[in-house]
Structure 1
């Protein structure tokens, strides 16, 4: 059981930023670490969505130098909105 705890801690911290890893360095319980990270970062989607919606509605073709630049920005916003569980249809992209 303790070996599984250690493996879980190693796995979780391996994918963390160095500063964040140092902040949670003393945490020995993998479940507690997971819950703390969830509480800290679980609302990223909720805080990101309003900003993305404003950017989506203010996206105008004439603001870009090329079609490629416009398309890249539209697809970037679309993918982030899908991350936030808000779908953008192809019709909306056009």
Structure 2
């Protein structure tokens, strides 16, 4: 069986620039560890599972965020607080990405590799 601890990912930056990927990675890792229920509404997770989820989430936060949310003990409350703080990025990033996608032209690049790089950057 593979070791999930080796599949680490980047901690959430205090600026929140990587929030969308961090949230997806965190959710997937919690689900893989049977802790996904801890960040859902009306959950019936055991206190042990909540503690494990908090440890996991805290390990993947920037030091500034750790100190800011130090008093929160419930992973659902922390999840909601971070979502309220950073989830507005979808409304800011999506229109810009759509604009860039609409105006993406291969003739604006010197090589196909540069074009592919720009295309993958926009789609991510």
The answer to whether the superposition gives a TM-score over 0.5 is yes
Mapping 1:36-75, distance limit 5 Å: 36-75=81-120
TM-score, reference length from structure 1: 0.68
Q: More helix per residue: 1 or 2?
A: 1
Deviations 1:56-88 (A, max 9, x none): 12222232221110111112212x2xxxxxxxx
Q: Which has the larger radius of gyration?
A: 1
TM-score normalised over the length of structure 2: 0.54
2:59 maps to 14
When the two structures are aligned, how many residues end up with a matched partner? Answer: 79
RMSD: 1.8
How far apart are the structure 2 equivalents of 1:70 and 1:4? 45
Q: Which runs of 5+ in 2 are unaligned?
A: 1-45
Question: Which runs of at least 4 in structure 1 moved beyond 4 Å after TM superposition?
Answer: none
Which runs of 5 or more residues in structure 1 are unaligned?
Answer: 81-94
**The 10-residue stretch of structure 1 (55-64 or 45-54) with the greater mean CA deviation from structure 2:** 55-64
Distance 1:10 1:30 in 2: 9
